[in-house]
Structure 1
Amino acid sequence: MNFKRLMPESTALRAGSAIVLVALLAACSGTSKPKPAELPANPSLMGVRQSWTVKIPDVGFPLTTDVSGDTVTVAGSDGTVVAIDARAGRETWRGNAGAPLAAGVGSDGAMAAVVTTNNELVALQNGKVLWKQKLSAQAFTAPLVAGRRVFVQTADRSISAWDGQSGRRLWIQQRAGENLVLRKAGVLIAVGDTLVAGIGGRLVGINPANGTSRWESPIAAPRGTNDVERLVDLTGSVSRVGDSVCARAYYASVGCVETQRGALAWSKPAMGADGVSGDQSFVYGTETDGSVVAWRRTDGERAWQSTRFKNRELTSPLAVGRSLIIGENTGTLHFVSREDGALLNRVTPDGSAITVAPVLAGNTVVIVTAKGGVFGYRPE
């Protein structure tokens, strides 16, 4: 197993509580990877049209593509941040945070925020840096920009709020750190007037005005006898329909929480590493063995499971129209049926790995590749 040790750069971290970051538990085994399933001929059962493309530097960090109205904000590993009008693929602005990135991007359509590998929170507007602030630890979850504030979750489990214009810290909520956390993007979203964050295996509702907790709901609980076995973190994209928020606990479960009351609706075992997508009827996810799964949103029972991509490394899916759109580390973008996972079409944007979850802006599906290709597609 490969661990990377993060040495604390601030006395805000407790003495002796160095954070260990797990890149991927699945890599623990020394055995060779199983052979990926052969793909059938492309059936081309639905039309997919490439509308535009934009180039950014290579993407090698856990990028979260931000969508605010028709504006899509992306970033490259070198610190480049670009806002794009998804209707025409036109750059609105391009700037640079001044250092390589560890997390991002968060945006409200006007201001964007990222975190650098130097543990700096950087806010940009119209391509210019507004301000920078030092954080207590590294961050891998994209900042959330909402209500003229910037919210940040760091690897020491702290959550903080910063004034969007001045960069002044407004509050910080600190929790007991854990020996192991994931080197992956977690959960930090706004639901109504509540800031909802993933802390360990729980969704936590926070008052955005002062940082006090309103409720906590466990999607997964730590198990096992050592730190590795007990590692539980919520990771990746979530599915929100009204007050219902569904999320994945890394290698443990998928579950849904009613955020109005903070009540767990259901939690089911699942072996996946990336987030989920969904609609009013189903929650969709990809498992680490390449399976694509649909759970019923009402009770979490499995509606269907497809093994067509067995042993392939997939992104979390995006539900659009009659299809789920899934990226693969081979560079292929798959379009499958939301009804049963049947293959509908596939395209290859630029041949480099697709590890960033697809997003939807208006009627445009936006894909980001490892080589920094940003592509806008319009499915039929």
Structure 2
Amino acid sequence: MSRSSSARPGALAAPPGGRRATASAIRHTAADGPLWRAVLAAARPHSRNGPYGPLRAPDENGIAVPEGFTVRVIARSGYKTAGVVWHSAPDGGACFPDGDEWIYVSNSETSLLGGVTAIRFAPDGTARGAYRILSGTSFNGVGCATPWHTWLSGEAIPGGRIFECDPYGTAAAMPRLSMGRLTHSSLACDPDRRVVYLTEDEPDGCFYRFVPDEWGDLTSGTLEVLVTAPAGAGPIVWRRVPNPAGLIEPVRSQVPGARRFERPAGCHFADGVCRFVTADGLVWSYDAVHHRLEATSDAASLIPALVGDTGELFVAGDGMTIDVLTADGTAAPFLRVTGHDSSAITGLAFSPDGRHLYFSSQRGAAGPASGTGGVTYAVSGPFGRIGRG
């Protein structure tokens, strides 16, 4: 990716104008993680087979999908894909447009050999190249695509870093230490207020926001942590973290009165609200417009807001399944992986044209005992084009 002449040193410039999606009317999206599993668990089962009909018998890969859809393996951990060895424990992922082609990036949630790998796809959906965009990091689980088409990958370890990566493989990945060294759990961009929200994977984790000095450039800025008055009373305020890159005094201990949550995760921003789920079963909503924080145990009440006008939301469940969730609060099975009982579905993302859904079985059939069991798939078919069942 070529750098803008006005970009500051270390900044990753926005992609050229040609790097745009080729389809702009996609009526579905995909997500995985704790927040989405909580919402899916609260949904009502569909009265019939859902919008795409019943699942067929599992194919040669042990995957069941409705009629009209096909599944193919695009990468296996420890094996070469388009000339590059695919990483272990594939986790968070996203797709980035590049003219009539696109790129799928995938985190690696493993120690020391983590990082991010990218695969470039031709217009017909075939892989035509792969490359590493981040190496030498650990437990990269959390990820977030920025509005300027870079990928933020965070380490889920104490003192972990956020790296800003170039999906197009031109610029080197850059550590964003001003965003905080902590056990990163999830990230979400708020383009309206020009901030990035972060949650912390600790039993008593905090909720942060990073305010860059210049939107589109995460080189420098201010990290703030959410603070409440004693006993939870009073207004919500944000306070600056004095030393976000510090390791001697942990980031989470630098601001007295920082609000604590029970292992916050699953950060998502839409329509002025940032939501995240906690291990005690609550879904928290931070209203960034009115500076209010509310919690609910009724995740089903959030379905219309989360699905929104996308029409359909494809969500990874607790088992090896992907369900389709609609704004009316119903869910139906779309995909089931058999024989991967000790794995998890990760990295859901649609190609820009909406014709291909990517996901991984993080540990594969071998489970956690194998470091190279992960498998990444592409599901292709008539998404959003079938009448409701």
State the TM-score, normalized to the length of structure 2.
Answer: 0.49
Q: Which has the higher strand share?
A: 1
Structure ranking higher on relative contact order (CA contacts 8 Å, 6+ apart): 2
State the TM-score, normalized to the length of structure 1.
Answer: 0.50
